[in-house]
A and B are shown apart, each in its own frame.
Chain A
Amino acid sequence: MSDEEDLELQALQRQLDDAFQTTRPRAGFEDHLWAELQVRRPWWQRVRAGIAGLVGGIRRIPAAPAGAVAALLVVAIFIGVLAQGGFHLRGGGAATSAGSPFQDEKGAQHVPAVGSGSFGRLPAPAAPGSASSTYPSQSSLALNAPLYTGPATLVWAGHLSIPVSTAPVYRFYEPTAVDADKFAMALGASPALQSSGAQELGRYSGDGFTLEVLSSTPNSREPLYVVNVTDRSRLPAPGPTPASTADSFLAAHRLSPGWPDNVTVDQSGNLMYVNYLRQFAVPGYTFAYLVDPSGTGYGLRVQLESGQPVMVTGPLPLSIESADYRIISVDQAARSAVASSTNGGGFATPPPTVRLTSAKLVYALVWAGDHSFYEPAFLFSGTFTHNGVTYVKRVLVPAVDPSQLSS
């Protein structure tokens, strides 16, 4: 084999490595499938897993009866919680002394706690489609047409009026296992003696349900809890609507969202999904949806099967602080949107011309290591048709003034 051939084959191998490493399923597939696995797990496997965990725990403490082990753990956690400065349902992370915390109640307006730009320069949100979300996709704001992430010639043909020049940026710190324990205790759940996954902060069991608390997935989703119903015989009869059934379940388990939301319902086969799409209050304006990397709204989701709740997935309630930042005008944002061009994923030559006909102020999660931000952004969207198929093009433009963004 000549040197030239050898080099060609090496280059091809590198391309294949890249191809296989960058080919990944759509955003949300990973968590959705995991949720399906949990739901479809036969009851005897659930029982066996529970017994295995319990037996494992007893083996580690040979002479102790199982009941005593469980009781000891509950007491130990309670002492740990007290040692951490008391019990706060919503008080997961370190609420700083920077000012009064966000009023984490439905519909409450936040109180700007600190001066403009006090979190320093911020990382910018990712463009739609450029990052993979592992958060379950929650629609209503979901796409009715496929998302196009390739290059396009963009034209702004819409109208949006935002009567404010500042908007709050929210920050929270990554929770610890102690925070997960506090949350579990508030739900009446105690630790399950099972080994944990890599992202798992804790696994618990309560009266008729199990609880799993997961840390952030970088650039993808915030800390998450997953409640799985293990004993449906204890559930009350379904309410008149899926939303009312979900509301009742959340209230009974102290899981009702502590933030403004908009409820939507989706159906897939015999499964119903009640989505509580999270919103953030923008003083002087209105509410802005939280969107995932595809530009789709999300928040808390209740999955119903045969009309009864089987699973709840939602963001772990955490202490959150805010600071006001200057934001750019809609005109500036539109100019940025029109000037943007997304690399990769395109299929049309020349790139399609897309009229961006709608825009809205939204919030996007931006991961920054041991803490994350919810940052305001403008989400522009428009559609175009290619080979008879209508596609959606979305452009996310950071709303925070560029002087306050890290390069």
Chain B
Amino acid sequence: MLADRPPFEDLYREFLGRIYAYVRAQVATSADAEDITAQVFMNAYQAYGRFEVRNTTPAAWLFRIARNATLDHFRAHGRRERLRRTIEHQPMSEEDPAGMAEERIQYKALLQHVAKLPERQREAISLRHSGLSFEEVGVLMTCSEDAAKMLYHRALKALRESVKEQMA
């Protein structure tokens, strides 16, 4: 029912930053992150009439749209460029001077390590630290809650090793 749904603007204001951070952890530039975030909320705005609170949480619903939009982005642009940048260890800010203007990322290096993880590990980390429960992560990644937990912990360990390697 319409009355069960919060105003779309409430969702927008609450989730914009989180969705942006989730997307930003996966793409190379803030410009790409902005484009995808904009697409996410355009899609969500148009689909909001069909959103059913009793079927899913607003967070899970929005992150599903964000995940699909990010996958679409990679399908459209290919992963070659992103992989090249990852291999060359180019800092995100320097590739993206326009976006760097006002973007605030205090942990660029850490997010670059996240971006280098295998896709499912990267997603598990990004979704979990965007505030989703393991149950929600599992639903989004089409696996059980326990499998999501295991995937996340494997990803965390892989991330720790990646950080250690660079420090060494």
Binding site for B on A (CB under 8 A): 8-9, 12-13, 15-30, 33-34, 36-37, 40-41, 45, 48, 52, 56, 129, 132-133, 143, 145-147, 194-200, 294, 344-345, 347, 386-387, 389, 391
Enumerate chain A residues within 8 angstroms of B94, measured Cβ to Cβ. 347, 386-387, 389
The 0/1 profile, CB within 8 Å of A marked 1, for residues 95-131 of chain B is 0011111111111001100100000000001100110
Enumerate chain B residues within 8 angstroms of A15, measured Cβ to Cβ. 107, 110
CB distance from A40 to the nearest CB of B (A): 7
Enumerate chain A residues within 8 angstroms of B63, measured Cβ to Cβ. none
Enumerate chain B residues within 8 angstroms of A133, measured Cβ to Cβ. 102
Q: What secondary structure prevails in chain A residues at the interface with B?
A: mixed
24 cross-chain CB contacts under 8 A = A9-B160, A16-B114, A19-B106, A19-B111, A24-B103, A25-B17, A25-B20, A25-B34, A33-B37, A34-B9, A34-B12, A45-B46, A56-B2, A129-B104, A132-B102, A146-B100, A146-B101, A196-B7, A198-B10, A294-B102, A344-B106, A345-B106, A347-B94, A386-B94
Enumerate chain A residues within 8 angstroms of B134, measured Cβ to Cβ. none
Stretch at the interface among B21-29, B52-60, B76-84: B21-29
**Which of B18, B38, B102 interacts with A27 by CB under 8 Å?**
B102
The verdict on A20 contacting B25 (CB below 8 Å), with A25-B33, A25-B34, A147-B102 known, is yes
Are B21 and A23 interface neighbours, CB within 8 A? yes
In the complex formed, the residue of B with least CB distance to A40 is B42
Are B30 and A25 interface neighbours, CB within 8 A? yes
CA distance A25 to B111 in the complex (A): 15
Are B107 and A22 interface neighbours, CB within 8 A? yes
Are B24 and A23 interface neighbours, CB within 8 A? yes
CA distance A345 to B17 in the complex (A): 18
CA distance A52 to B21 in the complex (A): 34
Are A20 and B156 interface neighbours, CB within 8 A? no
Residue of A16, A28, A195, A197 with most partner-chain B CB within 10 A: A16
Are B106 and A18 interface neighbours, CB within 8 A? yes
In the complex formed, the residue of B with least CB distance to A391 is B97
